[in-house]
Amino acid sequence: MGTIPGRRLIISLFLIFLLLPIYWLINMSFKTNSEIVSTMTLWPHQPTIENYMRIFTDESWYSGYINSLKYVIINTVISISVALPAAYAFSRYRFLGDKHLFFWLLSNRMAPAAVFALPFFNLYSAIGLFDTPWAVALAHCIFNVPLAVWILEGFVSSVPREIDETAFLDGYSFPRFFIKILVPLIASGIGVAAFFCFMFSWVELLLARTLTSVYAKPISAVMTRTVSAAGMDWGLLAAAGALTIIPGALVIWFVRNYIARGFALGRV
Amino acid sequence: MARIDLVDLAHSYSGNDAPPESFALKPVTMTWRQGGAYALLGPSGCGKTTLLNLISGIVTPSRGQILFDGKDITPLSTQKRNIAQVFQFPVIYDTMTVGENLAFPLKNRGVPKAEISARVKRIAELLDLAPYLNRKATRLTADAKQKISLGRGLVRSDVAAILFDEPLTVIDPELKWQLRSKLKALHRELDLTMIYVTHDQTEALTFADTVVVMHDGRVVQSGSPAELFDKPAHTFVGYFIGSPGMNIVPAHVDGREARIDGHTIGLHRNYGVLPADAKIEIGVRPEFVDIAPPASGLLAATIERIDDLGRIRFARVRVGDSKFAARVPPGFSVPDNMAGLVFDPAHVHVYADSLLVEGVA
Amino acid sequence: MDKTVNQKAWFLVLPVFLVVAFSAIIPLMTVVNYSMQDTFGNNQFFWNGVGWFKELLDPSTDLGERFFASLWRNLIFSAIILAIEIPLGIVVALSMPREGWTVAVCLVILALPLLIPFNVVGTIWQIFGRPDIGLLGYTLNSLGINYNYVSNEFDAWATVIVMDVWHWTSLVALLCYAGLKSIPDAYYQAAQIDGASRWAVFRAIQLPKMNRVLLIAVLLRFMDSFMIYTEPFVVTGGGPGNSTTFISIELVKIALGQFDLGKAAALSLVYNLIILIVCWVFYTVMTNAGAERPQKEGAV
């Protein structure tokens, strides 16, 4: 593979650029507020886990994490299960309006969340889903379902048609073929699509905050609370932020060998 | 244009200290004649691509030297070796036209514009690509793309040799033949050394005047197609070349006689006394064994099936524990399952530990 | 590959259609409905026709002025981050190690910013950039550079841009890396034999092969930067003044802040229309680029 001169230096500098702000956040999460405000220290001089303890003992904090995970998981499951058959259809068949439909789907991936915030609020209030994980999960489908269809379509297209034909000749019914043969064949594609759904649902805030108020409040919304009468509680804010990085980091670690293929959207 | 000498050349992908048996290419010393058409033939994983990449400089050998016209070029990079190579899958610069593709190697070497266009024009005519010069190369068929890859090698006036790495893999069968004939014609016209790697014996035997057969990292025989057929130097060459391959059966050989399954057949040469601990086999091509009605003087065989290839029929028979293929003479009808085998002694060869033993006439 | 015509395929697409239609069409109808009405609170609505649209597209009104100012700001912002992130992403992708354990480490670190919630990205940079407690702000100020993103417009812009580069360059880099990985070794070997320089390899092989992923990268980056809301909102709150108030921030201010539903809806529709048009242009370019190379030869 062709590389460029000075590549080690470039990649190292870039990785440091990426890690430095994260380090600063983590650094701060282990400091007391008085240390943060009074001195500039490159590492915690009086390390404390008090900030984390407060999060783990205060229900409103940790339930925020659980709420976030709830809608992220619901959303991922819905997105993948409706996108799979559609991806197969787009990959294998031509039908009335297929190209327009595909474009329309993709255009929804690009729709600004700010446009939908208010109508969603009205819609989900009207059907009684407001302030439940379902509201956020369904709302996030608007950008995750098109994305999942797009990624999975690439992976399904990389499976030769002959496999479908052989299976049907062997007497497989369509649902059985789908579950027994196709799904295992594109398992890595499903993993990649799930990764992207997880990612975009996890990082989104505007809709998640608009569609919840008390019971389903996501962690990212809880974080905005740290402005107290005494000013910002920086240590607590940093600890909460550091904790939101963990699920993402775990997910990346598990899919690290598929990242390259995933970003090529199955079309390598 | 150059003569290529390989001197004690060997390569292991895990370094020079790897055990000798694990080398992808075991030490080889040989000479490739200037202007020769060579085929490197062998099953996949036999080291033929490694050898090719060593010559082109893509891989640096763990040991040994490569000489072009007597000059050691082992440390030189691919660019400085003046080698052209055509890969298994066509390599095309997507954004360029056919003409730009052909001009690319010359442009990189700073050749003057006028000379570039003259060379490109000439090579395009030679390869029948002239009508496509201004087309985008990506839109052409696979065989045209392979011609472009070849053309990028030919435009350079200084190429020492052209290497082909299974270049017909992605070409439609009927075009394969055309492209191969084109290669032969180019070879005659341009007097270039060509080395052609393939696992397809038909491709190798029709293209090359010298076929180099490789097996398990070793060059087992190098010779004309006729030599490989008549006198395989290694049992592997015997059964890899020819269809069906050579019959190889264990035997006892003593002087001018070989004993198989209790039956004695005469040999054309005297083999004296062979080393006792070697594995002794005799090899004979099916073309030189005839099926006959069973008789007391003949090696008895059980016929398992007859393959009718149109011009010729082969019987698959069983002698004791070993399988055998033998020619069914024209007009001969097989009475029942039992038959006798008639050998042509001139074409029965003796192998000790898989290597040909030369007898004394 | 020739696809067979089969209208029954609609049944397979139906679930997706329903889910997305539920989330897209119904709200969009609400928006259209609002955009034609005026409200004085208490859920009383009055028909206003295209009045809001007229006001929106007329720069002499307050609404129009705000719209065009934020649109202009947003376009400049998108242009700047594309100009930085695309070349930087390519360079980073080209600098990736070839093999060994460092590949996995680089990939994981690169992907990390992508999985941090948007508001936490904002928080990270808010903390990092503050002159009193942030490493960046503190360092810059102690170097004698007067840096404060809360009060200085230029600093606010610089912070938002650097933050976006930090957040999203990885996406471009990973897309390019994936594109580069798909190039068979034979291409590099052939180029070596053809005597190509490093630059010629990039121009003749790598750039064309990254073509498709780069188009995706530009599309995603343009769209996402055009819709950016959370990160600048957390860091600068749209200020100082209105200097970092991008369209989404303006929209949310009008809709949820002032509860000016009609104006917000009209703005939404125009905003959506712009995005739809840009998206369509990209889609057309992309399908045409794909049609140029319909069949990949062999098992490359």
What pLDDT digit, counting tens, does each position of C167-210 carry? 999 999 988 888 888 888 889 888 888 888 888 899 888 988 88
- Which of A118, A157, A241 has its CB closest to that of C123? A241
Of all residues in chain B, the percent with pLDDT exceeding 90 is 16
- Which of A106, A115, A264 has its CB closest to that of C268? A115
Residues B186 and B59 in one domain: yes
- Mean local confidence (pLDDT), C31-54: 69
- Mean local confidence (pLDDT), C278-296: 66
C27: chain A residues, CB-CB within 8 Å: 116, 119-120, 122-123
Question: How many CB pairs below 8 Å do chains A and C form together?
Answer: 307
DSSP bridge pairs for C39 = C45
Distance from CA of B80 to the nearest CA of C (A): 8
Residues B193 and B229 in one domain: yes
Q: How far apart are CA C27 and CA C24, in angstroms?
A: 6
For residue B140, is it within any domain?
Answer: yes
- Mean local confidence (pLDDT), B185-214: 88
Neighbours of A47 (CB within 10 A): 12
Residues B263 and B320 in one domain: yes
Nearest residue on chain C to A266, judged by CA atoms? C178
- Mean local confidence (pLDDT), B147-151: 89
Residues B210 and B351 in one domain: no
For residue B242, is it within any domain?
Answer: no
- Which of A24, A107, A253 has its CB closest to that of C276? A107
For residue B198, is it within any domain?
Answer: yes
For residue B243, is it within any domain?
Answer: no
Q: How far apart are CA C217 and CA C239, in angstroms?
A: 29
Residues B124 and B194 in one domain: yes
DSSP bridge pairs for B340 = B292, B300
For residue B90, is it within any domain?
Answer: yes
Please tell me the predicted confidence (pLDDT) of residue C298.
Answer: 34
Give the pLDDT band (50/70/90) at residue C291: low
> Which of B237, B259, B294 is at the close of a domain?
B237
Inspect the structure and tell me whether chains B and A have 3 or more CB pairs less than 8 Å apart: no
The DSSP bridge pattern shows strands B322-328 and B313-319 to be antiparallel
Q: Per-residue pLDDT tens for C61-96?
A: 787 888 888 889 999 999 999 999 999 999 999 998
Of all residues in chain C, the percent with pLDDT exceeding 70 is 91
Distance from CA of B125 to the nearest CA of C (A): 20
Count of domains for chain B: 2
Q: Do B149 and C190 touch (CB under 8 A)?
A: yes
Of C185, C230, C243, whose CA–CA distance to C209 is shortest?
A: C185
Residues B163 and B222 in one domain: yes
Q: Per-residue pLDDT tens for B65-88?
A: 999 888 898 888 888 888 888 888
Please tell me the predicted confidence (pLDDT) of residue C295.
Answer: 39
Of all residues in chain B, the percent with pLDDT exceeding 70 is 99
For residue B300, is it within any domain?
Answer: yes
- Residue C250 exposed, middle or buried by CB count within 10 Å (0-12, 13-18, 19+): buried
Please tell me the predicted confidence (pLDDT) of residue C113.
Answer: 92
Nearest residue on chain A to C228, judged by CA atoms? A112
Please tell me the predicted confidence (pLDDT) of residue A1.
Answer: 46
Identify whether the C-beta of residue B9 lies closer than 8 Å to the C-beta of residue B61. Answer: yes
- Name the residue range of residue B164's domain: 4-237
Please tell me the predicted confidence (pLDDT) of residue C293.
Answer: 46
DSSP state of C3: P
For residue B184, is it within any domain?
Answer: yes
- Which of B77, B87, B139 has its CB closest to that of C190? B87
Please tell me the predicted confidence (pLDDT) of residue B175.
Answer: 84
Locate the DSSP E strands across B166-321. Answer: 193-198, 210-215, 218-223, 247-250, 252-254, 257-260, 263-266, 280-284, 289-292, 299-308, 313-319
The answer to pTM > 0.90 is: no
Residues B85 and B220 in one domain: yes
Q: Do A118 and C135 touch (CB under 8 A)?
A: no
B77: chain C residues, CB-CB within 8 Å: 192
ipTM of the complex: 0.83
* CATH number of B127's domain: 3.40.50.300
Chain A interface, best mutation among C16, C139, C166, C183, by max A CB count within 10 A: C16
Of A102, A211, A206, whose CA–CA distance to C227 is shortest?
A: A206
Nearest residue on chain B to C200, judged by CA atoms? B108
* CATH number of B347's domain: 2.40.50.140
Q: Per-residue pLDDT tens for B285-335?
A: 999 999 888 888 888 888 888 888 888 889 899 888 888 899 988 877 776
Q: How far apart are CA B94 and CA B105, in angstroms?
A: 15
Distance from CA of A192 to the nearest CA of C (A): 13
Nearest residue on chain B to C183, judged by CA atoms? B91
Please tell me the predicted confidence (pLDDT) of residue B1.
Answer: 59
- Which of A105, A138, A261 has its CB closest to that of C16? A105
Nearest residue on chain C to B161, judged by CA atoms? C193
- Mean local confidence (pLDDT), B255-281: 84
Distance from CA of C178 to the nearest CA of A (A): 5
Nearest residue on chain C to B78, judged by CA atoms? C193
- Mean local confidence (pLDDT), C152-165: 90
Please tell me the predicted confidence (pLDDT) of residue C297.
Answer: 35
Say how many CA atoms lie within 13 Å of B134 toward its Cβ: 0
For residue B321, is it within any domain?
Answer: yes
pLDDT < 70 positions in chain A: 1-4, 224-231, 261, 264-268
> Which of B182, B209, B237 is at the close of a domain?
B237
Q: Do C30 and A111 touch (CB under 8 A)?
A: no
Does A217 reach chain C within 8 Å, measured CB to CB? no
Residues B307 and B160 in one domain: no
Residues B209 and B260 in one domain: no
Residues B255 and B228 in one domain: no
**Which residue did the predictor score with more confidence, A176 or C54?**
A176
Q: Do A205 and C127 touch (CB under 8 A)?
A: no
C190: chain B residues, CB-CB within 8 Å: 85, 87, 91, 149, 152
Q: Do C188 and A1 touch (CB under 8 A)?
A: yes
HEC-encoded secondary structure of C81-107: HHHHHHHHHHHHHHHCCCCCHHHHHHH
Please tell me the predicted confidence (pLDDT) of residue A268.
Answer: 38
B105: chain C residues, CB-CB within 8 Å: 193-195
Of B83, B50, B360, whose CA–CA distance to B197 is shortest?
A: B50
Neighbours of C172 (CB within 10 A): 28
Q: How far apart are CA B12 and CA B191, in angstroms?
A: 33
Phi, then psi, of C48 in degrees rounded to 5: -125, 0
Please tell me the predicted confidence (pLDDT) of residue C294.
Answer: 41
> Which of B237, B256, B274 is at the close of a domain?
B237
Contacts with A, C 88-117, CB within 8 Å: 88, 91-92, 94-98, 104, 106-117
Does C274 reach chain A within 8 Å, measured CB to CB? no
Long-range Cβ contact pairs of A55-58 (< 8 A, separation 24 or more): A55/A236, A55/A239, A55/A240, A55/A243
Residues B17 and B81 in one domain: yes
Q: Do C252 and A206 touch (CB under 8 A)?
A: yes
Q: Do B108 and C300 touch (CB under 8 A)?
A: no
Does A203 reach chain C within 8 Å, measured CB to CB? yes
B69 in helix, strand or coil? coil
Reported residue count of chain B is 361
pLDDT of C279 higher than 70: yes
Residues B220 and B99 in one domain: yes
In sequence order, the 6+-apart residues with CB closer than 8 A to the CB of B159 are B1, B82, B83, B84, B153, B192
Please tell me the predicted confidence (pLDDT) of residue C46.
Answer: 63
Identify whether the C-beta of residue B132 lies closer than 8 Å to the C-beta of residue B163. Answer: no
Long-range Cβ contact pairs of A195-198 (< 8 A, separation 24 or more): A195/A251, A195/A255, A195/A258, A195/A262, A196/A144, A196/A147, A196/A148, A196/A151, A196/A262, A197/A75, A197/A76, A197/A79, A197/A80, A197/A144, A197/A147, A197/A148, A198/A72, A198/A76, A198/A251
Tell me the pLDDT of chain B averaged across its residues: 87
Inspect the structure and tell me whether chains C and B have 3 or more CB pairs less than 8 Å apart: yes
Q: Per-residue pLDDT tens for C218-263?
A: 888 888 888 888 888 888 877 787 888 888 888 888 777 777 777 7
Q: How far apart are CA C254 and CA A12, in angstroms?
A: 44
pLDDT of C212 higher than 80: no
Q: Do C181 and A112 touch (CB under 8 A)?
A: no
pLDDT of C296 higher than 50: no
C163 in helix, strand or coil? helix
